[in-house]
C-alpha cells in the first residue's frame, strides 16, 4: 500500500488516476482519489466486444503516454491489465492501481508480481528482470486484448500459461493492418533486449497514423495549475476572503497523518478544502471519517442529489475516430 500511494503521489498525468489525498488515522488508511465513472476496460470489452483499430489506437496512445511518463518519473507499474485501465465518460483511459509498482529501481527486479496472462516471459520464468521491458510486454497484451477481445495467452493454470508463453508462437488478431501486427510482435517478443522501447513505440507508424506524432507528456508549470479547474465547485470550496489554504507540512501527533499528492495537483486539493477554512489552518479529520472504522451505520443513508463533478480536467489525448483516411500500405 505504501508503494501504491508513494507512486501515485509523484504522478500527475491526464491518463493516470489522480491521487488527491492519503489520510492515516492509525486504524484505517484512507486513500482519496479521482472518481472515474466509466468503469474499467475489461467490463467495457465484455459488454461491447473488441474495439476498432481507431478506438484501440486512441486508447493505446493514451496508455503509452501515461506509461512513458511513469518510467520517466522512475515508477514501474508491474501490473498492467484490463481491470487497471479505467474509462471516464468520454471514453478516455486512465491507468490505475499502482499497488505492485516499484519506485526508482537501481537494478534488475526480482519480485514475482503481476497477473498471469499479462506477465512478461522473464517474469513468468521467475528470473531477475528489468522493469520497463516487462511493462512494455504487458502493454502489448493490452493492445492485443483491445483488438481481439481476448488475451493472447491462455491456459488452465499458471504452468500451462507459462508453457504457452515460452513457445513464442504469437499470432496477432485477424484483420488488423500489417503495421499493427508488426507492432504487436515487437511488443510481445520473448527476448526483452529485442522488445520495442517506448521511444520506438511513440515513433511507430501505426501509433501515429492519422494522428499527430505522439510526444512525451510535459507537466504544466506548477504556478499555472492554480487556474486549472476554475469551475463552480472549486469556487464554492475556496476559503473565505478569496485566498487559498496552505497545506501544513505536518500535523500534531493526536490528529490524522496526511500525505498529500504532487504539488501539480493543487486544484483538486482545493476542491476538497472545507468552505470557510482560514489560510494556514490545519485540516481536522471529519467525524464521519474518524468513526468509520469503529462502527457501522445503523441504516443506509438516503441518497440525495449528486454534486456537480469538477470539469477542470487536464486535457486528454483524443481517442475517438479520426477523420476517415485511406489505410496505410
pLDDT at 53: 95
Q: Which of 79, 88, 97, 130 is catalytic?
A: 79
Residue 159 pLDDT > 70: yes
Strands (E) located in the chain: 19-24, 29-33, 75-76, 85-87, 93-95, 102-103, 257-260
Residue 316 pLDDT > 50: no
Domain boundaries defined on the chain:
1-34+228-277, 36-202
Residue predicted with more confidence, 87 or 323:
87
224: Cβ–Cβ under 8 A, 6 or more apart, which residues? Answer: none
Q: What does pTM read for this prediction? A: 0.70
Residue predicted with more confidence, 171 or 261:
171
Confidence at 92, pLDDT banded by 50, 70, 90: very high
> For the chain, percent helix, then strand, then coil, each to nearest 5?
35, 10, 60
pLDDT in tens, 240-268: 333 333 333 333 333 334 554 444 444 44
Is the CATH code 1.10.10.10 the one for domain 36-202?
no
Residue predicted with more confidence, 65 or 12:
65
Confidence at 200, pLDDT banded by 50, 70, 90: very high
8 Å CB contact between 105 and 114:
no
Confidence at 186, pLDDT banded by 50, 70, 90: very high
Residue 177 pLDDT > 90: yes
Residue predicted with more confidence, 92 or 322:
92
Residue predicted with more confidence, 272 or 181:
181
pLDDT at 163: 76
Confidence at 2, pLDDT banded by 50, 70, 90: low
Instruction: Kindly state the average pLDDT of the residues 182-189.
Output: 95
- 79 noted as active-site residue: yes
C-alpha–C-alpha distance, residues 98 and 126, integer Å: 21
Rounded (10°) angle between helices 131-148 and 53-72: 170
Amino acid at each position: 500500500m505504501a508503494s501504491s500511494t508513494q507512486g501515485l503521489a509523484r504522478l500527475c498525468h491526464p491518463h493516470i488516476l489522480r491521487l488527491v489525498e492519503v489520510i492515516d488515522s492509525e486504524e484505517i488508511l484512507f486513500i482519496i482519489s479521482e472518481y472515474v465513472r466509466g468503469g474499467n476496460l475489461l467490463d467495457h470489452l465484455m459488454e461491447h466486444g473488441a474495439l476498432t483499430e481507431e478506438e484501440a489506437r486512441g486508447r493505446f496512445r493514451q496508455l503509452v503516454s501515461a506509461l512513458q511518463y511513469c518510467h520517466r518519473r522512475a515508477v514501474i507499474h508491474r501490473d498492467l491489465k484490463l481491470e487497471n485501465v479505467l474509462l471516464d465518460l468520454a471514453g478516455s483511459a486512465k491507468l490505475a492501481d499502482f499497488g505492485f509498482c516499484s519506485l526508482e529501481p537501481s537494478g534488475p527486479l526480482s519480485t514475482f508480481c503481476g497477473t498471469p496472462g499479462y506477465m512478461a516471459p522473464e517474469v513468468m520464468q521467475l528470473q531477475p528482470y528489468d522493469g520497463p521491458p516487462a511493462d512494455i510486454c504487458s502493454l502489448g497484451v493490452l493492445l492485443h486484448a483491445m483488438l481481439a477481445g481476448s488475451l493472447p495467452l491462455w491456459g488452465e493454470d499458471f504452468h500451462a500459461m507459462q508453457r504457452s508463453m515460452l513457445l513464442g508462437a504469437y499470432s496477432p488478431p485477424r484483420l488488423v493492418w500489417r503495421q499493427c501486427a508488426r507492432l504487436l510482435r515487437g511488443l510481445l517478443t520473448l527476448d526483452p533486449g529485442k522488445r520495442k522501447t517506448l521511444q520506438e513505440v511513440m515513433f511507430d507508424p501505426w501509433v501515429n497514423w492519422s494522428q499527430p506524432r505522439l510526444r512525451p507528456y510535459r507537466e504544466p508549470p506548477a504556478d499555472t495549475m492554480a487556474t486549472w479547474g476554475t469551475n463552480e465547485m472549486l469556487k464554492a470550496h475556496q476559503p473565505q476572503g478569496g485566498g487559498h489554504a496552505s497545506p501544513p507540512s505536518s500535523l500534531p501527533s493526536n490528529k490524522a497523518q496526511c500525505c498529500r499528492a504532487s504539488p501539480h495537483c493543487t486544484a483538486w486539493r482545493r476542491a476538497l478544502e472545507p468552505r470557510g477554512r482560514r489560510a494556514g489552518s490545519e485540516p481536522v479529520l471529519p467525524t464521519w471519517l474518524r468513526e468509520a472504522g469503529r462502527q457501522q451505520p445503523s441504516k443506509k443513508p438516503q441518497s440525495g442529489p449528486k454534486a456537480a463533478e469538477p470539469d477542470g480536467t487536464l486535457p486528454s489525448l483524443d481517442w475517438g475516430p479520426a477523420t476517415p483516411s485511406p489505410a496505410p500500405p
